[in-house]
Amino acid sequence: MAAMTGGGNRARPGEVSLAHRGVLFMDEMPEFPRPTLEALRQPLEAGQTTVSRAAAHITYPARFQLVAAMNPCRCGYLGDGARECGRAPRCGEDYQGKLSGPLLDRIDMVVEISPLTPRELSWAPPGEASSFVAARVAAARAIARARYGEDGASTNAEALGDLIVLAGEAKAFLEMAATKLRLSARGFVRAMRVGRSIADLAGIEEVQRGHIAEALGYRHKMPGRTALQGAG
Could you list the residues that contact Zn ion (CB under 5 A)? Answer: 73, 75, 78, 85, 91
Tell me the closest approach of the beta carbon of residue 71 to Zn ion, in angstroms.
8
> Smallest distance from the beta carbon of 66 to Zn ion, in angstroms?
25
> CB-wise, 60 or 77, nearer to Zn ion?
77
Q: Between residues 73 and 199, which has the closer beta carbon with respect to Zn ion? A: 73
| Pairwise CA distance, residues 216 & 232, whole Å | 12
- Residue 68 C-beta-side C-alpha neighbours within 13 Å: 22
Taking the complex as a whole, the smallest distance from the CB of residue 36 to Zn ion amounts, in Å, to 23
Q: Which amino acid is at 9?
A: N
Angle at 30 between CA 27 and CA 33, to 5 degrees: 105
Question: In Å, how far from its chain's centre is CA 63?
Answer: 14
Let me know: does 206 contact 166? Beta carbons within 8 Å: yes
What is the three-class DSSP state of 41?
helix
CA distances from 52 to 6, 60, 98, 135 (A): 10, 11, 26, 42
In the complex, the smallest distance separating the C-beta of residue 115 from Zn ion, rounded to whole angstroms, is 14
Least gap, CB of 89 to Zn ion (angstroms)? 9
Per-residue CA distances from 196 to 35, 147, 190 (Å): 32, 11, 10
Compare residues 69 and 135 and give the one whose CB is closer to Zn ion: 69
Complex with Zn ion: residue 96 or 156, whichever CB lies closer = 96
Nearer Cβ to Zn ion, position 62 or 78?
Answer: 78
